[in-house]
Structure 1
Amino acid sequence: MRKLFLLLVVPSALVVAQSKSFDPYARIGFESITPNDLSAHLHFIASPELEGRETTFRGQKVAARYIASVFQKLGLKPIGDDQSYFQRFDLEVTRISEHSNIAVTTRKGPKSFTIRRDFLTQSTRDTIYQAPVVFVGYMDATLDSAAQALIKGKIVVAFGGRKGDSKDTSISAARRVSFSRSFPGSVATMVVADDSGSGSIDRLYARFSRAMEKTSMRLPGAQTRGGFSFPPVYYISPPLAGELLKEFGKSLDDVRRKAQGGRDIKPTTLKQASVRIESKLSREVRQSENVIGLLEGSDPAVKDEVVLFTAHYDHEGIGADGIIFHGADDDGSGTVAVLELAEAFATNPVRPRRSVAFMTVTGEEKGLLGSEYYVKHPIIPLDKTVADLNIDMIGRTDKKYDELKVQDYVYVIGSDKISIELDSLLKTSNNESEALSLDYLYNDENNPDGFYYRSDHYNFARNGIPVIFFFTGVHVDYHRPTDTVDKIQFSKMAKITRLIFYTGWKVANKTHRLVTNTPAAAR
């Protein structure tokens, strides 16, 4: 282990030696950041045992305790609740209620159908739909202008799968989106599930139960974010569909055969059945936690000022069929970089003049909730927070750089928005150390990908705090179960982490505090 460590740090030391301007007092901390150490941490953080680290779930709690144990081992000061490393807070969790139901009324009277047994939905709307029903055949139906006018304000019903393919009864994510977008103006859409196979209610529930459980989270009192672009989708059982579609055939199979015929079924309003959908939500409060530790600065005159290093340690949890979303790059890479940065500063013989703090936040995947809570309830006063250096996904190479066959780069976002001096300091630090390619492609707030607004630095920037967001781009495994530790490029990750260390070192040791170039909270 010791021999391998020496082999790994020698290239870094040689790079440093090439720059006479490199601060020798930072050398030991700088060289302590190694691919091996990053790998050791990430193999735990992204392991199956942590179950994808979904906010408020067991794996996230285990990750929080692990991070806190590292901070404690390094001797960081616990500045969280009750002199701990945790800043705990409540989250309101909403999901579809078991009291949701669909009532179908025919000439024989109303008949009630229950969620999970007779239908499923991932809708997070607490509402009642009562409207005429239009049957359109299959979910890939093409509607002319007259049919589009017919479905407005109505509930649309269709079989899953594709017309003409009796073996295809699947309801894939892509088709669900396509289906919901195909019927603009309808109030809700119903997909008829299959009797058996992948499209059955039982199979669909096995796939969607976790998603139904975790629908949405928000801070107590916060407004629900965004609106609803498309009508909600309900997956209905054959018995429920049979009640609805009796007027089209002797049995549901008979209706399906007719829908499979050569011509498209003409969209038709049901005359013998009406539908009332009552979609109810259940609400509960769960707790999550940010994890934070402090290393006090050496200069009594400025040690109340703090340079903050952040990353989010939550991810997507467990998905369909129990598949784990490991989140090795997103954002296991940033999380373990923060741990290495904490070790680098803690073990460096010389402490910086200003204090440095290390925080891994929760709830980023739910809407930047952990950092939002923190800036509303700051442990370190915001006016004493000199800068936030945020790390989110630095372990892989995106398509652009894959094609260029280049690994030694990093996307820099937000570095000049509030303090041009911070951006200048980053460039100087890079020139004196790793000499990476600094790519500002996503630095434009108007970039269509909007990355400036999509990670935790943004909540600090909104409060006028200078920020840098370090990022290496998205890849084919982004937000997929295949974002695993075996694909991480640890050598490149170590170089970026060392650059972040040295940039933070320079900010923390400046004779004056960073000069800001925009009014507080201007962005």
Structure 2
Amino acid sequence: MKLKQLIVSAALMAAIPVYSQEEALSVITLKDSETYMKYLSSDNLEGRRTGSEGNNKAAEYIRAEALRLGVKPLPGKDDLFQPLEYLRITTVPGESLITLSDTISTIIHSANLMPLMPPSDTVRLDGEVVFAGYGYTNSKEKYNDFAGISINDRIVIVMTRVPEVKGNGMPEAGSGISEMTEARKLPMIMLQQAKAVLFVADPALGKDISADLMSMGSSYQLVPLFRKQVFNFSINAYAITMELADMMLSQSGLTLRELQDSIASSHQPASFVVPNLKAQVSINVLKDTVTSNNILGYIEGSDPELSKEAVMFTAHYDHVGVDAAGNIYNGANDNASGSVGLLNIASAFAALEKKPARSTIFFWTTGEEEGLHGSSFYTENPLFPLEKTIAAINFDMIGRSRRDTDTGASLTGDIDITGRDTIKIINGADCPALVSYATDACHESGVYPIDEGKGTHFSGSDHYPFYRKNIPVLFFFTGLHKDYHKPSDDFEFIDFDKLVNVSKAGFLTGYRVASDTDFLSKQTD
């Protein structure tokens, strides 16, 4: 940390009053929560994706606020940042092309392609073209779009959604496409070693939804350079227009609409190799190295010996950024809410006149949406001894309550969002004392806790790498909602009363763990 930062931080800390435990709770306010949230979920941060300028802005903001509150660099460190290095791969605008030719290489047409995911390197591929219906298989319904047809080393056209089979109807009819439905098709296509897949809107939608397909894609790919083994994975998946699909299929004398109608009327696939057609795909990419930062600081405990141990609070501040169509995903609940919660909790600990015996660490992680990168990197490269980290308390999505629209399924599972006065506490079931403290703290803070044990979502957030290191963990979570990983996860839908109450519950939980001199003896029944 630069000298100027230390001087400013010390001056600000001197102006912060000190309180008892009960009074410290009053420091956690709606006003502060709204102020933090307004910035962290703003369009200005462009979705805070790891490796982006918006992510860096969010990190600078959190670091500045943490220092202002009195959070200090960890022992032996002079800053709150722990850097992670990435290779960023971006598709060159205007240089993603598909060229169609007949079997004697006469060019028929050339058009722009829309990559759903930037490839890991420059792409130059060609092959025969296969129409594979919806790219759908269902053994129960005895339906298989790939039966009797090989897609190996070929370029595959696949329609969105799934076929109408035995009267089951088409999912999401009239409401666009489902990212989950389309994503489930990719493993089967990959296993059959297709060279590329071209997604096209099925005509029954009544509109060309190239932009909707593009919203599934990301604007760049990240390759973590901090891992010993890097699995540089990508799939050649693209969105095409119905007009382009019909042009390709015209070599067979059929249209996309006719093929869809045939599947609907016969309840049978209509897959085939498009005659007298080859396609060439050309994609150019740019590569650069970017840095994203974990943010860690601590407030020292009051006991000379126990202060060498710590309770860890975690929340990821990154989100998913901007999609390939330019839509910004502000991630107000996921996870600006958890990041706000940690700032709230840090403010309460900083305000305490007498600190708990143990130290408290505040860890805003990056790269969570990329695969728990920040927390996994930290647990392999800790800045505070893991054996002295006695518990990890995680906050991921703590600011939403159930609304009338929260029905059905979200991107990754069934919607299970909690009500206004309810929060899920997910845990490793290996430390009853931690769960007991959290349960009592929730009741005292005006939220009803639902103890889910390991539950459905146990491995999906930043507490999990700590659990794998045999550290007791707890995860505060509202559950999944309709706006999960959508541009509509925005400031206006945050339940700030709930966010404040969960922050208070988190503070009380951590305070009691940090104060319990016998806590380590209570980790198992």
Question: For this structure pair, what is the TM-score category when the shorter chain's length is used for normalisation?
Answer: 0.7 to 0.9
In the TM superposition, residue 258 of structure 1 has moved relative to its aligned partner by 8.5
Q: 1:91 to 1:387 in 2, by over 3 A?
A: same
2:376 paired residue number: 372
* Percent pairwise identity: 29
1:292 corresponds to 2:259: no
Code of the aligned partner of 1:156: V
State whether residues 249 and 255 of structure 2, in contact with CA within 8 Å, keep that contact through their aligned partners in structure 1. no
1:503 corresponds to 2:513: no
1:215 paired residue number: 221
Q: 1:32 to 1:401 in 2, by over 3 A?
A: farther
1:39 corresponds to 2:34: yes
State whether residues 101 and 278 of structure 1, in contact with CA within 8 Å, keep that contact through their aligned partners in structure 2. yes
Match runs of 1:107-256 below 5 Å? 107-109=103-105, 117-118=112-113, 120-122=115-117, 124=119, 131-135=127-131, 148-153=147-152, 154-157=154-157, 172=177, 176-177=182-183, 185=192, 187=194, 188-191=196-199, 199=208, 204=211, 208=214, 211-221=217-227, 223=229, 232-236=236-240, 247-248=251-252, 256=255
Deviates more, 1:263-272 or 1:473-482: 263-272
Secondary structure of the 1:65 match is helix
In the TM superposition, residue 213 of structure 1 has moved relative to its aligned partner by 2.5
Secondary structure of the 2:445 match is coil
Secondary structure of the 1:291 match is strand
State whether residues 30 and 498 of structure 1, in contact with CA within 8 Å, keep that contact through their aligned partners in structure 2. yes
User: Per-residue CA shift, 1:467-517, capped at 9, x if unaligned?
Assistant: 111112121222122222222222222222111111111111122342364
Q: 1:123 to 1:176 in 2, by over 3 A?
A: farther
1:411 paired residue number: 424
In structure 2, distance between residues paired with 1:63 and 1:244: 45
State whether residues 259 and 270 of structure 2, in contact with CA within 8 Å, keep that contact through their aligned partners in structure 1. no
Secondary structure of the 1:109 match is coil
Q: 1:171 to 1:283 in 2, by over 3 A?
A: farther
Aligned equivalent of 1:453, options 447, 451, 459? 459
State whether residues 130 and 151 of structure 2, in contact with CA within 8 Å, keep that contact through their aligned partners in structure 1. no
Code of the aligned partner of 2:112: R
In structure 2, distance between residues paired with 1:262 and 1:345: 64
Secondary structure of the 1:393 match is coil
In structure 2, distance between residues paired with 1:402 and 1:329: 14
Aligned equivalent of 2:450, options 436, 439, 454? 439
2:169 paired residue number: none
In structure 2, distance between residues paired with 1:351 and 1:40: 26
In structure 2, distance between residues paired with 1:366 and 1:322: 19
In structure 2, distance between residues paired with 1:461 and 1:286: 29
Q: 1:238 to 1:508 in 2, by over 3 A?
A: closer
In the TM superposition, residue 241 of structure 1 has moved relative to its aligned partner by 6.1
In structure 1, distance between residues paired with 2:159 and 2:341: 49
1:78 paired residue number: 73
User: Per-residue CA shift, 1:260-308, capped at 9, x if unaligned?
Assistant: 7975695443442344557777654210001122111111121111111
1:420 paired residue number: 432
In the TM superposition, residue 178 of structure 1 has moved relative to its aligned partner by 7.9
In structure 2, distance between residues paired with 1:351 and 1:515: 22
State whether residues 301 and 360 of structure 2, in contact with CA within 8 Å, keep that contact through their aligned partners in structure 1. yes
User: Per-residue CA shift, 1:80-114, capped at 9, x if unaligned?
Assistant: 99611211121233455788765655344375998
Secondary structure of the 2:238 match is strand
Secondary structure of the 2:276 match is coil
Q: 1:464 to 1:97 in 2, by over 3 A?
A: farther
TM-score (norm 2): 0.75
Runs of at least 5 residues in structure 2 that lack an aligned partner in the other structure: 1-18, 164-172, 264-268, 408-416
In structure 2, distance between residues paired with 1:400 and 1:172: 21
In the TM superposition, residue 332 of structure 1 has moved relative to its aligned partner by 1.1
In the TM superposition, residue 139 of structure 1 has moved relative to its aligned partner by 8.3
Q: 1:80 to 1:134 in 2, by over 3 A?
A: farther
User: Per-residue CA shift, 1:343-388, capped at 9, x if unaligned?
Assistant: 1111111111111111211111111111111111111111111211
Q: 1:132 to 1:516 in 2, by over 3 A?
A: farther
Code of the aligned partner of 1:368: L
In structure 2, distance between residues paired with 1:54 and 1:191: 25
1:345 paired residue number: 349
Match runs of 1:313-392 below 5 Å? 313-319=317-323, 321-392=325-396
Secondary structure of the 1:150 match is coil
Aligned equivalent of 1:473, options 468, 473, 479? 479
State whether residues 309 and 389 of structure 1, in contact with CA within 8 Å, keep that contact through their aligned partners in structure 2. yes
User: Per-residue CA shift, 1:437-495, capped at 9, x if unaligned?
Assistant: 22023x23xx4xx3111110111111111111111212122212222222222222222
In structure 1, distance between residues paired with 2:247 and 2:404: 53
In the TM superposition, residue 51 of structure 1 has moved relative to its aligned partner by 1.9
Q: 1:261 to 1:494 in 2, by over 3 A?
A: closer
State whether residues 90 and 287 of structure 1, in contact with CA within 8 Å, keep that contact through their aligned partners in structure 2. yes
Secondary structure of the 1:90 match is strand
Q: 1:381 to 1:276 in 2, by over 3 A?
A: same
Question: Aligned Cα RMSD in Å?
Answer: 4.4
In the TM superposition, residue 434 of structure 1 has moved relative to its aligned partner by 2.6
User: Per-residue CA shift, 1:46-82, capped at 9, x if unaligned?
Assistant: 1222222111212211111111111221232123996
Task: Give the number of the structure whose alpha-carbon radius of gyration is greater.
Answer: 1
- Larger helix fraction of residues: 1
Q: 1:284 to 1:199 in 2, by over 3 A?
A: farther
Secondary structure of the 2:149 match is helix
Q: 1:374 to 1:105 in 2, by over 3 A?
A: same
1:488 corresponds to 2:494: yes
Secondary structure of the 1:299 match is coil
Deviates more, 1:483-492 or 1:277-286: 277-286
State whether residues 101 and 113 of structure 1, in contact with CA within 8 Å, keep that contact through their aligned partners in structure 2. no
State whether residues 21 and 352 of structure 2, in contact with CA within 8 Å, keep that contact through their aligned partners in structure 1. yes
